[in-house]
């Protein structure tokens, strides 16, 4: 995955995570963009490899995306309490004795 | 009379539906504050606290931002069980089990005896092939990286890790700080494998790949018997978010924030 691709993914996930307010004055967003600008080239910097930052960015992307998806699946399938006798009967195509035929 | 009392009691028990306390979101915006070189999280004007009531403080700015983003992304209800980075920070700050660093390191190293990737199942030929092509390179990398001699096994009754190798790994893990070691523990419990956790934290494997390798047999069986979204996908995404949280947590806790620039204009 290219670096711009990762950045785009991160921004998209941040938008999913924080839908109400715009991202412009969000500190996390500002930090990520700033880091991307800072580590644009490694020639000026010692100690930190470019791949290292890319790996961390991808890990964060994975974190945001997987958290969102697991929550989505959980919300979709999580039980909403016990079914009534009528609902259960309807599921298997039966009717209760007092229901109209 | 006794019977009616008992009956009433039973009815009361049945009627008392257990309501779990999931607090609703009570703040508009979460942000961070810098004080004394450390970072705090704010929920509107309030400061975030740990479950034990002490102030929530972290050393690294990106970590604080990640925590604030977690709190910002709560919609309606605050689901703390899915906020893995916050949970990790809380565990380190409160230390609810009163563990020392050495306790945790010993626990992790002892998990190596039952490491997932060291025990390969030989009943199924195809699965065996997958295990050899996927797991063996990781074991090889691990042996080279930490200068140990771990051997995989296809039987259950062999103890594959020597005391010497354990000492080497204890020395390596003790070089991390307390917070990072807590992160390792969380990762090992997530993946059921010390080797895969260390590989992910050392950036040899991405979190996605490490989780895939940890679930190798499940994934193989899914290929044969079919996939169920509410079990397999949920499990996969949950493990991925846990492991990615660990990778970030250890990284931000163990890197030094000093960056020296070669020639600043």
What string of H, E and C letters represents the secondary structure of B9-56?
HHHHHHHCCCCCCCCECCCCCEEEEEECCEEEEEECCEECECCCCCEC
Mean pLDDT of chain B: 87
- Return the residue of B nearest to A41 by Cα: B261
Chain A residues with CB-CB distance to B77 below 8 A: none
Q: What is the CATH number of domain B30-94?
A: 3.30.2180.10
CB A57 within 8 A of CB A2: no
pLDDT of B9 higher than 80: no
Rounded alpha-carbon distances, angstroms, from residue B122 to B117, B132, B258: 13, 11, 49
Q: What is the mean pLDDT of residues B226-250?
A: 94
Chain B residues with CB-CB distance to A46 below 8 A: 259-262
Chain B residues with CB-CB distance to A77 below 8 A: 229-230, 234
Rounded Cα distance between B43 and B217, Å, is 43
Chain A residues with CB-CB distance to B240 below 8 A: 62-63, 66
Q: Is B183 on the interface with A (CB under 8 A)?
A: no
**Rounded (to 5) percent helix, strand, coil in chain A:** 60, 0, 40
Rounded Cα distance between B117 and B203, Å, is 18
Question: Half-sphere exposure of B104 toward its Cβ, with a 13 Å CA cutoff?
Answer: 25
Q: Is B263 on the interface with A (CB under 8 A)?
A: yes
Rounded Cα distance between B12 and B215, Å, is 44
Q: Is B210 on the interface with A (CB under 8 A)?
A: no
Q: Which pairing describes strands B57-58 and B38-43: parallel, antiparallel, or unpaired?
A: antiparallel
pLDDT of A49 higher than 90: no
DSSP state of B202: T
- Pick the more confident residue, B159 or B32: B32
Confidence of residue B216 (pLDDT cuts 50, 70, 90): very high
Nearest to A72 by CA among B22, B237, B191: B237
A interface test, pick of B33, B80, B207, B249 with most A CB neighbours within 10 Å: B207
pLDDT tens-digit readout, B33-77? 998 889 999 999 999 999 999 999 999 999 999 999 999 999 888
How large is the greatest C-alpha to C-alpha distance in chain B, in angstroms?
A: 92
CB A14 within 8 A of CB A64: yes
Rounded Cα distance between B85 and B88, Å, is 5
Chain B residues with CB-CB distance to A76 below 8 A: 230
A interface test, pick of B31, B40, B240, B263 with most A CB neighbours within 10 Å: B240
- Return the residue of A nearest to B69 by Cα: A28
- Would you call B66 and A28 a contact, using CB atoms and an 8 Å cutoff? yes
Rounded Cα distance between A15 and A21, Å, is 9
- Pick the more confident residue, B137 or B13: B137
Q: Which residues of A touch B (CB under 8 A)?
A: 14, 17-19, 21, 26-28, 31, 35, 43-48, 51-52, 55-56, 58-60, 62-63, 66-67, 69-71, 73-74, 76-77
| CB contact set of B9 (below 8 Å; sequence gap of 6+) | none
Rounded Cα distance between A58 and A38, Å, is 17
Domain B101-255, CATH homologous superfamily name and number: ATP12 ATPase (1.10.3580.10)
pLDDT of A68 higher than 70: yes
Q: What is the mean pLDDT of residues B134-141?
A: 95
Question: Which of the listed ranges B4-8, B251-255, B259-263 does the model predict with the highest average pLDDT?
Answer: B251-255
User: Minimum mean pLDDT among A4-18, A47-61, A63-77, B141-155: which range?
Assistant: A47-61
Rounded Cα distance between B91 and B189, Å, is 14
Measured in whole angstroms, the distance separating CA B131 from the mean position of its chain's CA atoms is 23
Closest by Cβ to A66, choosing from B65, B240, B264: B240
Rounded alpha-carbon distances, angstroms, from residue B10 to A81, A84, B1, B19: 20, 21, 14, 18
Q: What is the mean pLDDT of residues A37-43?
A: 66
Q: Which two tokens stand for residue B139?
A: 């074991």
What does the pLDDT read at residue A41?
56
Chain B residues with CB-CB distance to A71 below 8 A: 79, 82
Confidence of residue B242 (pLDDT cuts 50, 70, 90): very high
What does the pLDDT read at residue B114?
87
What does the pLDDT read at residue A78?
81
Confidence of residue B209 (pLDDT cuts 50, 70, 90): very high
pLDDT of B3 higher than 60: no
pLDDT of B194 higher than 90: yes
CB B62 within 8 A of CB A10: no
Mapped onto helix, strand or coil, the DSSP state of residue B153 is strand
Question: Half-sphere exposure of B199 toward its Cβ, with a 13 Å CA cutoff?
Answer: 26
pLDDT of B233 higher than 80: yes
Confidence of residue B92 (pLDDT cuts 50, 70, 90): very high
Q: Which two tokens stand for residue B22?
A: 């999931």
Domain boundaries, chain B: 30-94, 101-255
How many beta-carbon pairs below 8 A join chains A and B?
99
């Amino acid at each position: 995955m290219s670096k711009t691709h990762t950045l785009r993914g991160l921004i998209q996930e941040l938008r999913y995570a924080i839908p109400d307010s715009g991202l412009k004055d969000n500190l996390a967003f500002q930090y990520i963009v700033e880091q991307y600008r800072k580590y644009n080239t490694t020639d000026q910097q010692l100690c930190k490899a470019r791949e290292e930052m890319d790996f961390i960015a991808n890990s964060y992307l994975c974190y945001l995306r997987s958290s969102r998806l697991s929550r989505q699946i959980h919300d979709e399938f999580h039980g909403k309490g016990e079914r009534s006798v009528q609902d259960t009967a309807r599921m298997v195509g039966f009717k209760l004795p007092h229901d109209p035929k | 009379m006794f019977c009616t009392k008992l009956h009433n009691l039973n009815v009361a028990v049945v009627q008392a539906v257990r309501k779990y306390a999931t607090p609703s979101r009570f703040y508009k915006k979460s942000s961070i504050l810098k004080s004394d070189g450390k970072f705090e999280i704010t929920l509107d004007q309030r400061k975030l606290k740990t479950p034990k009531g002490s102030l929530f403080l972290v050393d690294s700015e990106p970590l604080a931002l990640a925590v604030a983003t977690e709190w910002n992304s709560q919609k309606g209800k605050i689901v703390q069980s899915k906020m893995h980075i916050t949970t990790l920070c809380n565990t380190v700050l409160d230390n609810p089990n009163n563990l020392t660093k050495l306790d945790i390191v010993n626990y992790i190293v002892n998990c190596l005896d039952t490491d997932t990737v060291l025990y390969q199942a030989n009943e199924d030929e195809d699965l065996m092939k997958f295990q050899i092509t996927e797991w063996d390179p990781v074991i090889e990398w691990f042996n080279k990286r930490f200068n140990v001699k771990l051997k995989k096994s296809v039987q259950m009754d062999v103890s594959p890790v020597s005391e010497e190798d354990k000492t080497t790994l204890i020395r390596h893990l003790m070089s991390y700080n307390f917070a990072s070691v807590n992160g390792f523990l969380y990762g090992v419990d997530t993946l059921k494998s010390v080797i895969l956790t260390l590989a992910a934290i050392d950036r040899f494997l991405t979190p996605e790949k490490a989780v895939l390798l940890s679930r190798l047999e499940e994934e193989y069986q899914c290929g044969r018997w079919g996939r169920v979204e509410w079990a397999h996908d949920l499990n996969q995404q949950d493990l991925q978010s846990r492991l990615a949280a660990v990778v970030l947590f250890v990284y931000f806790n163990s890197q030094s924030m000093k960056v020296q620039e070669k020639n600043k204009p």
